[in-house]
Structures are given as structure tokens and as C-alpha cells.
Amino acid sequence: MRYFDAGFTAAMQAARDTGIAPVYFAYFTGRDRDTGAAVDVGFWSGAYDHTINVARPDGSGTESRLYIGGSGLSVSGLGYVADLSDRAVTVALSQIAAAAQELVRGLDLRLAPCEIHATSMTGGAFVSAPQLQWVGIVDGAPISTPAANSEGGISLSVRSEIMAMLTACNPAKSSDAHQKRRQAGDRFSEYGSTVSSRDVQWYHKDQ
């Protein structure tokens, strides 16, 4: 069971009558392509850079983070289900925003952790602190380069890490070489590559 902030819950309940102004925050941890060091970058759907406290995914409290504005951030595909559906959330950014360019071209985002928070606004103020909505990993980051007079963008696919692990193919092999890499001295598959070509009549006793 998840419990949201009382202000956020009240805003959601009143959305039918008063409307809702969704505000999203996306926080990525990519890696420097040269050093491999972790680099944190946050974006939000507002126009200006904003520093705000958000809840950590592990429930250990809050953390003050800088979120970059003016990058055309939008989030779609958020949904809550009670099954094992593998539904990716899409985080879109403007391809002409300098910070967005640095994120996808300057950093290695392969399997980068991503946290998505959300809240709403009323009268120019947040109804609550950003509420954690999604935790996942970046599974794709295509950049759409537009033709003349058309629109492009950056579309980041963020999948649940648990579902990504459950649906991943196991690359492990049963070859002798692979078995020995896992455990030195393992001889279980020592003759695996040749036994299939041997024609042995098991019911005959060797002379």
C-alpha cells in the first residue's frame, strides 16, 4: 500500500472539479564516458532551474536535488497494475535543449537508474512535495532528428529493473570453457563437445 502526501491526495480527488496541472521530475544517474564516474542529472517540466527536496526510493528520507528546467520534459505511460506487466514509461525531452543534449550524448545512459516524481500546481504553487511515481532503468534513448518544418525530440524508455531482469535472456552456456570460468576445476562439461559424436553401445562390455 502506498500513501501519498495529504495535499497531493486532495488535489487528485478534486481534479474532476478543479482540474490538475501535472508537474514531473526525472532524475538520471548516467556515467561519464571517459572516466566511468556516476553523474546525476535532473529535469523538471517547469521553465527554470529549481532545487527541491524529494523522497529517496529506499525510504531513507529526503534529498535536496537540482532539477533543470526549460528542457521540454514530459512523462507518459505511468500506470499501476497488480500483475507482472512489463510497461515502459516514456520520458521525453527537447532535442535542442543543451542539458538534454549533454545527457544523451555526453553521458552513457545504458541501464542508467531513473527516478520519476510528480506533483501538481495550484495558484502557481506545488500542492505537495514531489511524490515518487516510478523507479527504473533506461532501456533506450532514441533521438529523432526532424526534417524541415517538422518536430523532433529525445524519447527515453524507462523500464522497471525487476521486469527487465525477469524477461532478460540468460547468456550463460554449458560449455566446458564457460563452466570453468564460473568455477575453476569444474569438469562437468569436459567431454560435452565430443560425446554427441561418439557411437557407443552402452549395453556391450568392453573386451
> Could you tell me the mean pLDDT of each successive run of 10 residues in the chain, 207 residues long?
81 84 95 93 95 91 95 90 81 92 92 94 89 92 72 88 76 73 79 69 63
Alpha carbon distance 64, 165 (integer Å): 30
> In the chain, where does DSSP find H-type helix?
6-13, 15-18, 98-101, 161-167, 176-182, 192-195
Per the CB < 8 A criterion, the answer to whether 59 and 72 are in contact is no
Asked whether 94 and 2 are in contact (CB, 8 A), the reply is no
Q: Is the pTM of this model over 0.85?
A: no
Instruction: Please give the pLDDT value at position 206.
Output: 60
Whole-angstrom Cα distance, residue 192 to residue 175? 7
Return the closest-CA partner of residue 143 out of 112, 89, 103. Answer: 103
Residue 185 is given by DSSP the state: T
Residue-level pLDDT at 172: 65
CA distance 57 to 126: 21
What are residue 114's phi and psi, to 5 degrees? Answer: -140, 135
Q: What DSSP string describes 150-169?
A: S--EEEEEEE-HHHHHHHSP
**Residue 75, C-alpha cell as written in the block:** 512523462
pLDDT score at 204: 65
**Locus of grid cell 495550484:** 122
Beta strands per DSSP E along the chain: 22-32, 38-44, 50-55, 62-67, 74-76, 89-93, 107-108, 113-122, 125-126, 131-140, 143-144, 153-159
What pLDDT is stored for residue 202 in this prediction?
65
Question: What one-character DSSP code corresponds to residue 129?
Answer: S
Residue 66 three-state SS? strand
